[in-house]
Structure 1
């Protein structure tokens, strides 16, 4: 795995490979195109992914914590039981595609998606504490079962999205587009919190 992708020094194309193991901390992965690959294990923690592309890739149990994703592209990728703590996806190219992401059981605390087009993405049973979704296109997204304490949504478009089963969120509906947003009774208090209203 390390020999395949680490410090390639030039463009490379990797198709339908199962990549297991890890690169060394701080490793530079530059200009590699991954298509329909499966990453498993502590593969990319603290790696520097520069100008890479990931198309229809699956990440299972992967630690991308504190990785740098500068000028990298993610298209229709799926993350399962992975850690993406503090990753700034604003440095990557992820917008303009439906189903850009599918997250299941992942931990993304302190990650930033600020300003990205993420419509029709799913975030199921994820921990999204203090995540920045400001100015994001989140139309038709699903946050079922996710923890959203401290998540920022100012300027986001949540039309036809679902927060059913999500917890911890607080939205100021004056700053967010919410037409068609689905919430359940347990989480509805998060819509009233910015007004100082407490649901008893």
Structure 2
């Protein structure tokens, strides 16, 4: 069953197993709705206000969420595929409300912020994360395979047992990041030595 997003959220506080389509204009608000097992497909929610909502086992495919507000919202085991999340500040979500098993596949996430969040066992596969903020994050056992991390910040993050295999353009100051068990390729070693002024040719 396919339903239009705004038609449904205007009359319901709880939606389950719905395929939701449609767009919202910047500044348009959805507040306090619980989405369980819903699929958001191909809509434009750029600049939308998703306030105090709960998303459980939801999938977002081809969604434009650039600069959307997720203040006080909760995300549990959600998956984002080929979506735009540029400038989304997930750090404003409800405290502790970003669960592990967060999955992003081929998403564009420049300037996104996850600052201080617990993101263990999450994955970013083939994503563009230019200038993203992972400062103070718990990133144990996370996987950044195939992602571009140009300018991404990891200050104070915990990357123990994480994987940067296949990731490119990352730079970590290993004096300020927990890295025991972090997996990298030999070709990426320069990203761990740049903080010391060492250039690997």
CA distance in 2, matches of 1:132, 1:89: 10
Give the TM-score of the pair, scaled to structure 1: 0.94
Contact 1:117 1:138 in 2 (8 A): yes
CA RMSD in angstroms comes to 1.3
Shift in alpha-carbon separation, 1:190–1:95, aligned structure 2, 3 A: farther
The answer to whether the Cα contact below 8 Å between 2:73 and 2:97 also exists between their aligned partners in 1 is no
**Structure 2: which 5+ residue stretches go unaligned?**
none
What's the CA shift for 1:133? 0.2
d(CA) in 1 for partners of 2:125 and 2:188? 16
Q: 2:21 corresponds to which residue?
A: 20
CA shift digits 1:3-55 (9 cap, x unpaired): 2125x6xx700000001121232210000000000001124211101100000
Distance 2:74 2:177 in 1: 27
Deviation at 1:145, TM superposition (A): 0.2
Q: Which moved more, 1:88-97 or 1:71-80?
A: 88-97
Q: 1:95 to 1:30 in 2, by over 3 A?
A: closer
> Partners of 1:29 and 1:97 in 2: how far apart?
21
Q: Which residue of 1 aligns with 2:155?
A: 154
Q: Note if contact 1:95-1:118 (Cα within 8 Å) is conserved in structure 2.
A: no
Q: Separation in 2 of the partners of 1:80 and 1:86?
A: 17
| Alignment length (residue pairs) | 196
Give me the TM-score of the superposition, normalised by structure 2.
0.94
User: Which residue pairs with 1:124 in the alignment?
Assistant: 125
Query: What are the ranges of 5 or more consecutive residues in structure 1 without an aligned counterpart?
Result: none
